[in-house]
Structure 1
């Protein structure tokens, strides 16, 4: 049940007393947390401050399939509890979201477009952008993405009040999806989109459904794919945000297991990559790998695999843990009979866990 605006504001500002303790876990362990209130995948995940995790939009189950939603739900890491917030201004999946200065920014994403002959799915990028203020539980419209830069499924990085969106896609429809190279930035101080220097404005190669994070002054884009689910990559792209003119670099250290649809987050100066889809060796088509990338040593290390392998979610590093809410339990479009029941083609879950490096 949604909480009141005043209660929600207090919760997000960290002023409510701790009702329960979040489960503990040791180094290299996984811990199960309170399930998210609604099964979902292809949602955006972002941190608001140092104790709240927001999930925005995505896909939720319907009687026969899934549908795009405007649901926004907030998780308090100190109490292991969920609260429903004001819905997003529109239904959106594969959204780009980030938390800056105690507010949540929703920048573009994919929305449902009219179907034509032969199409059962038609999602296209939107330019619309909004900011959510948890103190009043309300959304406000902000400057839209510049014409021609709209996209969803981008890798999001935050650095000194700037939100960077790297790669992504502009269309996802039956039998077709694209991937872009563009990198754009939103200045949360001025409220305006900012042009990047040419060397920083394009990834070395187009990517969507990748993962990434800002570690120190560097923005990393890890894995992902070009076009379909089986065209996944093992690359690591790096951009020094204090020297944009130097442009993107390609790390010599490739991911041990190439994959797209993965999630990832940074803790302790390292990047951790989880799951993904396009696994031809698994019945579900989903990867269970957990791998750590060290920018200092430029090396990858295999870690404890995901107990519940997933794709179509995003991870958030916070307080020494990496949180992974929801996601899809099978590769989208892959027909699977679950427990001898009917064949399904998507399988969003409520499962929520965290990895403790």
Structure 2
């Protein structure tokens, strides 16, 4: 009471202290009612190019489907020149590179012999440089860093066997192919991302239908390659993925690694979890889950939103989805 009286006499405000505004946090995923929809598919690549979504490949021969957030419409473009699936698309200047891909039916799919390039502004595909025969595989992670496309992991014999820890880099201008130090873990069916001078290979599995282990041998450890020192980091310096899954998507957003979706032997439904790793704190946080679990697609940031589309709703081949989801990243 004495303090209250003194405060009133001195004119001191006793209004509650205002807390600092919280950091922007993601809202919830919303399934968008788009004009048109993408062709149902999975094991495809979802890529961002000039503020649009490009959905390429997947099982069977499909058109390239393009989503423009400004018009909220999907548009079908040219079909792929052949069946292309199980790859992570990489944007380099005016083109999207399709590497580490496979063709043909389950379970003994065939790795591609050449790098395939799609030119969005021309709506045109081209077969460019040959991939060394001894390094051909599908289901690999692919990223672009300082003029090179890096290819990590993959599997040489479809879903039968042949999971690898290979690490290579490819110069899209000259076709030069260089073999890099193997990654610490063999893995396929995953995606990779670059944050600063480090590459993160997250999720995936060792697929082996020969051993009746198509979905079960998932990888917990995230392998991290440091471009500055030219080495893979030791295991104790690398994070563990909280939710084990393969066929997952990965994207870097403002210095953090976002891992979403996927499939595993632990559940029939595709995963809907979105988990985010912050290298600065070495901690994972949980973001809102997808409305529909899905695998075999991607996550793409455009402006203040994160998008996903298509994919498979259960582990394995179906149901193939035509929905588009958006997560606003700021309130």
**CA displacement 1:60-117 (0-9 Å, x = unmatched):** xxxxxxxx2242122223332222222222111113421111211122411116xxxx
Structure 1 residue 311, shift from structure 2 partner: 1.4
Partner of 1:29: 28
Partner of 1:192: 175
1:156–1:316 Cα change, 3 Å: farther
Alignment partner of 1:92 out of 54, 79, 84? 84
Partner of 2:12: none
**CA displacement 1:258-300 (0-9 Å, x = unmatched):** 22121121211111111211152x4x34222111111111111
Q: Which runs of 5+ in 2 are unaligned?
A: 1-23, 208-213
- Whole-Å Cα distance in 2 between the matches of residues 36 and 242 of structure 1? 42
**CA displacement 1:308-351 (0-9 Å, x = unmatched):** 1111212223324322111111111xxxxxxxxxxxx6211011
Partner of 1:339: none
1:349 counterpart = 2:294: no
Question: TM (normalized to structure 2)?
Answer: 0.82
Partner of 1:220: 200
1:82 counterpart = 2:74: yes
- Asked if 1 retains the 8 angstrom alpha-carbon contact of 2:295 and 2:312, the reply is yes
Q: Tell me, what secondary structure is at the counterpart of 1:148?
A: helix
- Asked if 2 retains the 8 angstrom alpha-carbon contact of 1:128 and 1:145, the reply is yes
1:287 counterpart = 2:287: no
- Asked if 2 retains the 8 angstrom alpha-carbon contact of 1:98 and 1:105, the reply is yes
- Asked if 2 retains the 8 angstrom alpha-carbon contact of 1:266 and 1:316, the reply is no
- Asked if 1 retains the 8 angstrom alpha-carbon contact of 2:81 and 2:125, the reply is yes
Q: Which runs of 5+ in 1 are unaligned?
A: 1-24, 60-67, 114-119, 333-344
Aligned residue-pair number: 297
Q: Tell me, what secondary structure is at the counterpart of 2:165?
A: strand
Alignment partner of 2:147 out of 138, 161, 174? 161
1:28–1:193 Cα change, 3 Å: farther
- Whole-Å Cα distance in 2 between the matches of residues 191 and 128 of structure 1? 14
1:269–1:26 Cα change, 3 Å: closer
Q: Tell me, what secondary structure is at the counterpart of 1:277?
A: coil
- Asked if 2 retains the 8 angstrom alpha-carbon contact of 1:36 and 1:326, the reply is no
- Asked if 1 retains the 8 angstrom alpha-carbon contact of 2:38 and 2:310, the reply is no
Structure 1 residue 166, shift from structure 2 partner: 0.8
RMSD of aligned residue pairs (Cα, Å): 2.2
- Asked if 1 retains the 8 angstrom alpha-carbon contact of 2:224 and 2:238, the reply is no
Partner of 2:47: 46
Q: If you compute each CA radius of gyration, which structure gives the higher value, 1 or 2?
A: 2
- Whole-Å Cα distance in 1 between the matches of residues 127 and 240 of structure 2? 40
- Asked if 2 retains the 8 angstrom alpha-carbon contact of 1:103 and 1:131, the reply is yes
- Asked if 2 retains the 8 angstrom alpha-carbon contact of 1:107 and 1:145, the reply is no
- Asked if 1 retains the 8 angstrom alpha-carbon contact of 2:63 and 2:79, the reply is yes
Alignment partner of 2:315 out of 331, 340, 356? 331
- Whole-Å Cα distance in 1 between the matches of residues 240 and 312 of structure 2? 25
1:271–1:108 Cα change, 3 Å: closer
- Asked if 2 retains the 8 angstrom alpha-carbon contact of 1:96 and 1:156, the reply is yes
